[in-house]
Amino acid sequence: MDLSRRTFVKATAVSLAFGTAAVAAGCTPEGGGLFGGGNGTTYKAVCRYCGTGCGILCEVEDGRLVSVTGDPDNESSRGLNCIKGIHLAKLLYGADRLTTPLIRDNPQTKGTNDGLREATWEEALDLVAGKLKTAWKADKKRIAFWGSGQQPITEGYVLSKFWKAGLLCNNIDPNARLCMASAVVAFMNVFQTDEPPGSYKDLDQADVFITWGANMAEAHPVLYSRLSSRKLSGADVKHYDLTTLITSTSKDADKVMVFRPGSDLAIANAISNYLIVNNKCDTAFIADHIQFKTGAENLGNAYEDGYDASDVGKTVNDVAPATFEEFAARMSEYTLEYAAQLSGVSAADIQEIAEHFANPNTKVMSLWTMGVNQHNRGTWMNHNIYNMHLLSGKICKPGCGPFSLTGQPTACGTAREVGLFAHRLPADLLVATPQHRRYTEAIWDLPGGYLDAIEAPGFHTIKIFREMSKGNMDFLWTSTNNWAATLPNLTRFLGIDPKYDGVFKTFIVVNEVYPTKSTQYADVVFPVAMWVEREGQYGNAERRTTIFEKAVDPPGEAKWDVWTYLQVARRVLEGETIGGADAFDQLFGFIWNRETDDFDGEHREINRRLFEEYRIFSNPQLKQAAQDINMDVTGEFEAKLKMENKQLAPYDEYLDKNGLTWPVREVDGKWLQTSWRFANGSQADGFDEVGIAQYGEAGLAGNVSFYKSAKGKPSAVFRPYEPPAFEPNEEYPFWFCTGRLLEHWHSGSMTQRIPELQRALPEMLLDMNEEDCKRLGIKDGDLVRVTSPYGSVEIKASTAKRTAPPEGLCFAAFHQESVLINLAVQDIYCPLSKEPDYKKTIVRIEKV
Amino acid sequence: MNTGIIESVREATTDTPNSAGDAPVVISSYLALLRKGCEEEVVASMAALEGVEVHGSEHGQYVVTIEADSVDETFERATKITRLEGVTTFSLVHCNFEDEDLGA
């Protein structure tokens, strides 16, 4: 780069940063638009890492990316990106990108880097379709698809339609089961809608932040930056970090409270109880809005494969109505002292937080993610957080509310909103509910009753892999995940335990961009496009749907995932009919050209058609048959579906704008987003005016109307403290907690494919307490063996305090394939959400 | 724009880029939030890193640039900054890597 160009580029970079500082502060920078000065073409995109959903502007010259810039017009990130954005573009260009289909002829080579040979698409597609068709015809319970919270919306939608309507099979689940399922189940239990009531805008207005087991500074850095900006704004803003170990998020917190693993349940209950016994609840809010319940207790744990079908396993979702007094009576056990005794946090500290909830003028925001969700009582802990906010009325108000942070870029948009779960249909609909099946049939033009074949939910993630490990699965297809690295209990699932060799017997197809641990177990690998090599849509944690445009071509013969689904669907559904019509044409004829055996249109147009069909789910007025079921015009169902609850705008609105938070309402010809759900106020200001006018009630306490909840009232369900699945003992004296670090995302399946990048990325280490190390004779950098009842892994010990665990607890991140920590992690899961508890495996540590 | 701290740091450090002439260069810019009370010290620590320059602050955020020979080196330097005591957050705004052959 010559000096004048260099000067210009640097001046542009500086100017963009100053302008972004103004945008982040809520000001309009002088001179209007920020981006400009480049010679290339700019495409709008969204970062493909975490669930924050940061907007990115990609500049392309001569078919290659030459710069990335935080998108100042994206309201989720307001021009910021974390440092992982530096290598976003480089991820596309790793030397070992997969560019041709691969076939494994000898299953005995599974688990190694050998055994895959190049093949043509025709050969690979025919092989996969043949295997799937044979397995499907023989027994639908022995096939499964494991999807992802990273699959864009239209990709997930096609997949769901193929698997649920085409194959009439519910064995489809996403990797979001491993990160967000507890949040999902609690959302549905409490609100009967899967969504956060607030938005990121709350971060700019809260008085008190409480992070619950969440290392936001590393896992959601841009949102943590927003929190920090609020704290540094001069207002008297507090941040309490409740955690089981000291992290980067603890560094600048006003108070850090280290609690014993699992005892967060008791701390939250003690805060709720404090509000009750001190008459500090918002009684008007409770009277208008809350129904109380108790639920099944003494759930035990899913130690055995048969837990879900056991006597206790079948009762886990049971709840019963309760009066406020009954609820309060159950809560009364949770005194500050009792919670202090269970947690190790002082009663005074717990009271300090409780008093913030008790103050009607204080805006409190609770933030959580994997620490709460990956918990043997993950769903319960989500409940207990909502209980505090519901009792105090601190919800659905700007700056105030419980906010579930999400893990993956479109865990909300695809896994949850599209419904890639084994029990779901699109838009929160459930396979088990007749009205939901009728509604879906109406949109997909299926004969009435067609989907009754899938009324029973399929296998959840752990069930899929437990069955596979026992040899009970014939066909598994996975995409946009790296199951062989991220699943817990890999000692079992990878067949290292010889009792479980099913992975070697199952025909496994993996859609991938790089060789990974999972491709080592694949019988066929489909090379696919990644990130901006195709157009897609992400839905982030604050309900924002954003399109990322195709900016460059995929390498070699790599294809869009949707193309692979449809090529296989076309082959498998050959000769099948739906209502007398060709099954494939019935489902996908609107995007596929039989003559060319390819998409019937350009990339953008295919996405638009798919999104417009998907959009009917939240816009029933677009199809009369769907609207009739939505409004229950025949009276055959119990109630209206209120599908407009999650209304999406036309596809082109998202192209024009840089993301919109649903529900998006058409007011005077303009599509307006919603920032605060169920809160009455002007739609133009981000309140839920249109929704409340349609289905809610004005004039209720707090100017709130929970119109999607049963009887208009969310549920405060009493959930007690029940201990972790295992407690440290003489043989396994440590807790082993796993998590993430700033520099990496996912399983390293992308960041670890770039050899030069390795220098800058931290090695995965076992963070230990110095006293524990002294006692065991372990020095910083020593190789140690971590052994649990499930398996063992060797890793270097560290006392450098990247995280600083208390005595008796150790921590490691899961990003490095060569240090496969999940070999030792338990596959115990929350009985309600079936999400594994990655945070509390018991282990022993020995110097190697 | 607050440039007082920056000027004092500039006097004590050199902001000469690490590469000269037509050598490949990756230029990136950031916003840093610093812990209150230790801004001067942290700005100095950042500016002491090779290829790193602090340009001032706006709305409480410090504008920082990194010039490096490659994306990987850029990432390495940015990572160092995130780990400096007193750096609360360090966010990327823009990264130009037009010089670098990413392998396309």
- pLDDT tens digits for A447-466? 999 999 999 999 999 999 99
**Nearby residues of A701 by Cβ (< 8 Å), 6 or more positions away:** A282, A284, A285, A287, A288, A289, A393
Helical segments of A139-219, H only: 153-160, 181-191, 216-219
pLDDT in tens, A794-828: 999 999 999 999 999 999 998 888 899 999 999 99
Give the 3-state secondary structure of A714-740. Answer: CEEEECCCCCCCCCCCCCCCEEEEEEC
- Cβ contact (<8 Å) for A221 and B89? yes
Range list of H helices, A2-120? 3-24
- Compare CB distances from B72 to A221, A232, A757 and report the shortest one's residue: A757
Q: Are A502 and A551 in contact (CB under 8 A)?
A: no
pLDDT for position A32: 46
Say yes or no to pLDDT of A521 above 90.
yes
**Looking at residue B13, what is its pLDDT?**
42
Pairing of strands A783-787, A841-847: antiparallel
Contact residues on chain B for A89, CB-CB shorter than 8 A: 71, 97, 102
CA A353/CA A239 separation, integer angstroms? 10
Does an H or E element contain A355, and which? helix A347-358
In this complex, the residue of A67, A232, A759 whose CB is nearest that of residue B94 is A67
CA distances from A268 to A337, A343, A350, A529, A802 (A): 13, 11, 9, 44, 28
Return left, alpha or beta for A580; rule: phi > 0 is left, psi -120 to 50 is alpha, else beta.
Answer: left
Annotated catalytic sites of A, by residue? 84, 179-180, 370, 407-408
- How far B68 CA lies from chain A's nearest CA (Å)? 12
Alpha carbon of B45: minimum distance to chain A alpha carbons (Å): 18
pLDDT at residue A116, as a whole number: 98
Contact flag B98-A224 (C-beta cutoff 8 Å): no
Percent of chain A clearing pLDDT 90 (strictly above)? 90
A604 three-state secondary structure: helix
Q: Is the pLDDT of residue A227 over 50?
A: yes
- Closest residue in A to B24 (Cα) is A1
Q: What is the dihedral of CA A113, A114, A118, A124, to 10 degrees?
A: -90
Are the beta carbons of A699 and A236 closer than 8 angstroms?
no
**pLDDT block averages, 10 residues each, chain B of length 104:** 52 46 86 95 97 94 96 93 96 94 67
Please list every residue in chain B whose beta carbon sits closer than 8 Å to the beta carbon of residue A80: 31, 91-93
Q: Which of B60, B93, B96 sits opposite A66 (nearest CB)?
A: B96
pLDDT of residue A28: 67
User: What pLDDT sits at residue A407?
Assistant: 84
Q: Which of residues 37-76 of B touch A (CB under 8 A)?
A: 55-61, 63-65, 67, 70-76
The whole-chain average pLDDT of chain A stands at: 95
Nearest chain B Cα to A250, which residue?
Answer: B88
Q: Tell me: domain B4-96, CATH 3.55.50.30, correct?
A: no
Considering Cα of A372, then A374, then A380, then A383, what sign does the dihedral take?
positive
Q: Which of B24, B78, B93 sits opposite A79 (nearest CB)?
A: B93
Give tens-digit pLDDT for A26-84. 776 554 445 555 678 999 999 998 899 999 999 999 999 999 999 999 999 999 999 99
Q: Count contacts between A and B (CB, < 8 Å).
A: 178
Find the residue in B nearest to A26 (Cα): B59
Q: Which two tokens stand for residue A36?
A: 């400009």
Q: A562-591, pLDDT tens digit by residue?
A: 999 999 999 999 999 999 999 999 999 999
The SS3 assignment for A137 reads helix
When pLDDT is averaged across residues A687-700 and rounded to a whole number, the result is 97
Find, in chain A, the residue whose alpha carbon is nearest to that of B76.
Answer: A760
CA atoms within 13 A of residue A572's CA, in its CB half-sphere: 24
Cα separation, A371 vs A264, whole angstroms: 10
CB contact under 8 A, A24 and B88: no
Calculate how close chain A gets to B48, using CA atoms only, in Å.
18
Alpha helices in A25-145 (DSSP H): 121-138
pLDDT tens for residues A578-635?
999 999 999 999 999 999 999 999 999 999 999 999 999 999 999 999 999 999 999 9
Residues of A in contact with B39 (CB under 8 A): none
Q: Which two three-digit tokens encode residue A66?
A: 């030459």
- Tally of CB atoms within 10 A around A553: 13
| Cβ–Cβ gap A221/B92 under 8 Å | no
Residues of chain B contacting residue A38, judged by C-beta atoms under 8 Å apart: 96
- Count of CB atoms situated within 10 Å of the CB of A733: 15
pLDDT of residue A27: 77
Which sequence spans correspond to the domains of chain B? 4-96
Tokens of A725: 């699945």
Shortest distance between the Cα of A19 and any Cα of chain B, in A, equals 9
Are B89 and A743 within 8 A, CB to CB? no
Nearest residue to A702 (alpha-carbon basis) of A686, A683, A680: A680
Question: Within an 8 Å CB–CB cutoff, is residue B90 touching chain A?
Answer: yes
Determine whether the interchain pair B25/A6 forms a contact, defined as Cβ–Cβ distance below 8 Å.
yes
* A60: closest chain B residue by CA: B98
For position A508, what pLDDT does the model report?
Answer: 98
Please name the residue that has the structure tokens 């010809």: A669
Option in A69, A225, A757 nearest B89 (CB): A225
Is the confidence at residue A490, as pLDDT, over 50?
Answer: yes
Instruction: Mark yes or no for CB contact A21/B91 under 8 Å.
Output: no
Nearest to B27 among A9, A63, A85 (CB): A9
Q: Once rounded to an integer, what is the mean pLDDT over residues A653-677?
A: 96
Does residue A424 register a pLDDT over 50?
Answer: yes
Q: What is the per-residue pLDDT for A34?
A: 53
Partner residue facing B75 (CB), from A3, A9, A87? A87
* Contact indicator for A458, A170 with CB cutoff of 8 Å: yes
CB contact under 8 A, A25 and B60: yes
How much is the pTM? 0.96
Three-state DSSP at A659 gives: coil
Interface probe, candidates A12, A15, A16, A20, chain B, greatest B C-beta count within 10 A: A20
Q: Which of A138, A123, A206 is nearest to A169 (CA)?
A: A138
Q: What is the Cα Rg of chain A in Å?
A: 26
- Domains of chain A and CATH, by start: 3-88 (2.20.25.90), 122-179+411-611 (3.40.50.740), 181-405 (3.40.228.10), 624-717 (no CATH), 734-847 (2.40.40.20)
pLDDT in the model for residue A756: 63
Per-residue pLDDT, averaged over A768-772, amounts to 98
The pLDDT score that the predictor gives to residue B21 is 59
> Quick one: average pLDDT of A314-326?
98
Neighbours of A338 (CB within 10 A): 17
A92 to B102: CB separation less than 8 angstroms, yes or no: yes
Contacts of B76 in chain A (CB under 8 A): 759-760
Residues of A in contact with B1 (CB under 8 A): 18
Distance CA A508, CA A530 (A): 21
SS (H, E, C) A414-425: HHHHHHCCCCEC
Q: Are A659 and A544 in contact (CB under 8 A)?
A: yes
Report the pLDDT averaged over residues A327-344. 98
Question: Which residue of A86, A87, A96, A803 to mutate against B (max B Cβ within 10 Å)?
Answer: A86
How many of the other CB atoms lie within 10 Å of CB of A453?
Answer: 16
Yes or no, beta carbons of B65 and A17 under 8 Å apart: yes
CA angle A491, A494, A499 (to 5 degrees): 70
The pLDDT tens digits for A390-401 are: 999 999 999 998
